[in-house]
Amino acid sequence: MNETLRMVDGRAVLRIERRLAHPPAKVWRALTEPGELSQWFPATVSMDLRVGAEIQFEFGGGRILELDPPRVFAFSWDDSLLRFELRPDGDGCLLVFTHTFDDRAGAASFAAGWRGCLDAMERLLAGEPVAHVRPPAELHDAYLDAFGLDTGEVEQTGDGWRVRFERQLTQPAGAVWAALTAAPPRVGAPPPAGFTTGLVRPGAVTAVTAPRLLEYEWLQADRPAGRVRWELSDQRGTGHGARLLLTQTGPAELADQRATALSAWRHHLCGVARQLRTGATGPASDPALGTLCRTGDGRLVLRFERRLAHPPERVWRALTERDQLRQRFPVHVDVDLSRGAGLRFELTAEAKRRLALTDQDTTSTGEVTRFDPPRLLEYTWGEETTRWELTPDGAGGCRLVFTDFFDGDLDQPDHRDAAAQASAAWHACLDLLAARLSDQQVDWSTWDRAAGLNDDYLAVARSAVRV
């Protein structure tokens, strides 16, 4: 079975191909005779089988647009267009089904539903009992991922920008609200953790109407920068659950936050969907996940933002002192910290073993390009540029922003894999940095942690935006 989704003249077109082990004439009867059609089609149908005739459904109506027995049957259904084409194929036939509609965000629901219908039609053709079952949430979300329906979009507004996600969920609004909310949210209080992501600092709730609406301010430098708004509706009619509309607004001067918002909310909503499917409790996503963006000059930018409960001076030592570097970094670094100074990197024995590079030269060089202790350190590493920025948070800790600029083409699978592996590796190194700073016992390997994050960062790489 093969399903694709594309946009044609502003409308979504779902195409499904399926080979059937029955001749076109037999399948044609299942498509057009009311007694057979009613057993597998998602609505009761009455019609006069001729072009131009009205066709009545249990809910809604349409008109027959094409009729070429036993080859083509097409009709409208309210604002949708359904077309069935049968092509002889040996002793069977190839069914090519297309569904054209306006609600692109509902495409995963339509695909899962039609798959169930066509499965039922195959059972009917084979003389087997026909039973309709609700499509599993796993199938729905697999289509959502395959069709790229989990990625958001950036819209320009009169005074800035808006990041927007519209996503079909698999549970009704009340169930979604309950999964995200440990206690009833209140205006003026912080939002429940389920409605937040660690890369977008939440402020106070500004509006709440359970279980339909939650809005709150998000903060930059301890000041409100815009609004995050969650809206849940059960009115779309795709039959799978609530429709979520999530938006984050921001001013033009914070345009660099758009990519962070896109990546962070995408990952968070994937976690919410997983929680709804499995009933799992706890954080819906990893708030420390980094963002990956494409720049206009063809480079890639990996960015992490972490809040650490330690002053910049202590974190600076962990970033620059040789003995501390060796505890968390997969390379030995000869440090000469002054602007313009050269650096030499050599992979550790463990890194060589893991990367199967034991018989190769594994040294590289770089140069310190910016140096302002304990605030800013930037250096090159081969063709990469790596930047560490520390800002006091006013509460005895600091905000760490890590940025890595490197080459790569995410449209090429090998480059995408390499970008995901590098992103996961930096994530693991930052986890180890935070653990060491807090004197936590570390009983895990950064290599194993990076491997466990690789699939998450493949998803980040696939959805990387251009900035």
Q: pLDDT tens digits, residue range 275-303?
A: 888 775 433 334 467 888 887 677 898 98
The three-state secondary structure class of 5 is strand
Q: Among candidates 25, 82, 61, which has minimal Cα distance to 36?
A: 25
> Strands, DSSP E only, in 151-261?
153-157, 160-168, 202-209, 213-220, 223-233, 243-251
Identify the residue whose tokens are 């992979």: 347
pLDDT for 331 equals 59
213 vs 44, which has greater pLDDT? Answer: 213
Q: Is the pLDDT at 1 greater than 60, yes or no?
A: no
pLDDT for 79 equals 94
- CA–CA distance from 343 to each of 100, 347, 372, 426, 448 (Å)? 58, 13, 17, 19, 28
HSE of 365, CA atoms in CB hemisphere, 13 A: 4
Computed over every residue of the chain, the mean pLDDT equals 87
- Give residue limits of the domains in the chain: 2-146, 160-269, 291-466
Residue type, 411: D
Q: Residue 190 corresponds to which tokens in the numbers above?
A: 């912080």
Q: Is the pLDDT at 40 greater than 90, yes or no?
A: yes
pLDDT for 328 equals 57
Q: How far apart are CA 243 and CA 152, in angstroms?
A: 14
Q: Is the pLDDT at 105 greater than 50, yes or no?
A: yes
HSE of 410, CA atoms in CB hemisphere, 13 A: 24
Max alpha carbon distance in the chain (Å)? 85
pLDDT for 43 equals 87
What would the mean pLDDT of 189-197 be, rounded to a whole number? 90
Q: Among candidates 411, 423, 413, which has minimal Cα distance to 457?
A: 423
Question: How many Cβ atoms sit within 10 Å of the Cβ of residue 134?
Answer: 12
Tell me whether the CATH fold assigned to 160-269 matches the one assigned to 291-466. Answer: yes
Q: Which of 252-256, 299-303, 322-326, 385-389 has the lowest mean pLDDT?
A: 322-326
Q: Is the pLDDT at 431 greater than 50, yes or no?
A: yes
Name the pLDDT band for 103 (thresholds 50, 70, 90). very high
pLDDT for 284 equals 38
Q: How far apart are CA 331 and CA 98, in angstroms?
A: 54
Q: Residue 199 corresponds to which tokens in the numbers above?
A: 């890369």
Identify the residue whose tokens are 């969907």: 273
Is the CATH number 3.40.109.10 carried by domain 2-146?
A: no
Sorted by sequence, the CB contacts under 8 Å of residue 217 that are 6+ apart come out as 202, 203, 204, 206, 224, 225, 226, 227, 228
Q: Is the pLDDT at 350 greater than 80, yes or no?
A: no
The answer to whether the CB of 385 falls within 8 A of the CB of 356 is: no
Residue type, 6: R
198 vs 135, which has greater pLDDT? Answer: 135
Q: Residue 129 corresponds to which tokens in the numbers above?
A: 């009992």
Q: Residue 156 corresponds to which tokens in the numbers above?
A: 């320009």
Q: How far apart are CA 76 and CA 64, in angstroms?
A: 7
At 150, phi and psi to the nearest 5? -95, 5
Sorted by sequence, the CB contacts under 8 Å of residue 250 that are 6+ apart come out as 160, 161, 162, 163, 218, 225, 226, 257, 258, 261
My answer on whether omega of the bond before 211 falls inside 30° of 0, hence cis, is yes
Q: What is the pLDDT of residues 116-171, one digit of tens each?
A: 999 999 999 999 998 877 788 888 988 998 898 988 899 999 999 999 999 999 99
Q: How far apart are CA 262 and CA 249, in angstroms?
A: 12
Q: Domain 160-269, what fold?
A: Alpha-D-Glucose-1,6-Bisphosphate; Chain A, domain 4 (3.30.530)
Q: Which of 21-35, 131-145, 255-269 has the highest mean pLDDT?
A: 21-35
Identify the residue whose tokens are 């758009």: 258
Q: Residue 37 corresponds to which tokens in the numbers above?
A: 């059609």
Q: Is the pLDDT at 80 greater than 50, yes or no?
A: yes
The answer to whether the CB of 124 falls within 8 A of the CB of 113 is: no
Q: How far apart are CA 114 and CA 140, in angstroms?
A: 11
Strand partners, 2: 17
For the chain, give the percent of residues with pLDDT over 70: 90
Q: How far apart are CA 321 and CA 397, in angstroms?
A: 19
Q: Which of 57-61, 74-78, 189-193, 434-438 has the lowest mean pLDDT?
A: 434-438
Helix (H) or strand (E) holding 127: none
Region 291-466: CATH code: 3.30.530.20
Q: Is the pLDDT at 333 greater than 50, yes or no?
A: yes
pLDDT for 84 equals 98
Q: How far apart are CA 33 and CA 25, in angstroms?
A: 12
pLDDT for 445 equals 81
